[in-house]
Amino acid sequence: MTATPGTLGQLGQTSDADFEALVGKHRRALHAHCYRMLASLHDADDALQETLLRAWRGLDGFDGRSSLRTWMYTIATNVCLRAMERRQRRFLPIDTGPSSDVSTASWDRVEVWPDPYPTGGSVGPEEAAVRSETLALAFVAALQWLPATQRAVLVLREVHGYSASETATMLQMSIAAVNSSLQRARRTRADRTSTATRPSDRGDLASNAELARRYIQAWEQGDLDAVLALLTDDATFQMPPIATWFSGRSAIAEFLPTGPLEEQWRMIPTAANGQLAFGCYAWNATDEAFEAHSLDVLSTSGELVDGITSFLRPELLARFGLPARLGTAGDVSEPPMSAGVAGS
């Protein structure tokens, strides 16, 4: 169910303004929480709205035995757990099968996959590092391998810092069950993260302005050697929703000229999941404009790129505040060369 402030205002005596004053500061962090649980922007939107609706309806019954924040996270977590009963898990192509080369590549599509998450804003270095790690594409992808309860326990305990006792109360579990779930979740996450796209050392725009400049230049000039020079030997390249992915600089070098580098590109730097990202625009000769094509999310190792996840969904760019098309010069206002991440 999707609710607006107007519909919320019809459900109780508290005004929209009063309600927003109470819960507004938690809104962004709750949305990020729902995204971690569901790995989908659309599902996170719906889960947040249902959380706010349930909070509105239950506000008169809030007795203060926990903090308002804890109460809100309890509602949001249970909304997400119910949503997970009705939805498929979301996996990146790298988690669905072995890597390919051009001769064996299949262009089958993955049914559902994790969305990239728009990140931005000004936060302190320590806070940004923690938030980046827990919104990183690798972390969110690894969470998808966990059963619903284990996923909830891991996020509440390790992302939000709730104690075993608090988590048990929030999920109506025993403390022993929470501890057991956390141990199993940690083991699975460790196993899956090692095979997923790795988190960046420091993936934001501010820390990688020179890398961003070189990445844009290489792609806009169609320079295969320049692109390859940015990659580690074991870099990966995947393109959700295409199931095929490539591992290693050699396989990527064979693939790029057969498709991606046949296009003429313009790129705008942004940030996704606390990582360096780019809105990618392909030239449309008919309309004589660069049109939204995909969103590249990079994981980095030192000054090199060890993973490119190119989301082939043009509509995603609007969620990052990017235009649907550019002129021939790509003359748009660039976003600030800094990027934090959404609240935790």
Kindly tell me if the per-residue pLDDT of 18 is higher than 90: no
Token digits of residue 115: 């969305």
The domains located in the chain, with CATH, are 1-87 (1.10.1740.10), 137-197 (1.10.10.10), 206-326 (3.10.450.50)
Of 173 and 333, the one with more pLDDT? 173
What's the pLDDT at 302?
86
Whether residue 11 is predicted with pLDDT greater than 70 in this model: the reply is no
Judge residue 91's burial from the number of C-beta atoms within 10 Å of its C-beta, 0-12 exposed, 13-18 middle, 19 or more buried: buried
pLDDT for 76 equals: 97
Round to whole Å and give the CA distance between 210 and 140: 27
Radius of gyration of the chain (CA): 21
CA 252 from chain center: how many Å? Answer: 24
- Residue 133: pLDDT band with limits 50, 70, 90: confident
pTM: 0.86
**pLDDT reading at 156 higher than 90:** yes
For tokens 């924040």, what's the residue?
A: 69
**180 three-state secondary structure:** helix
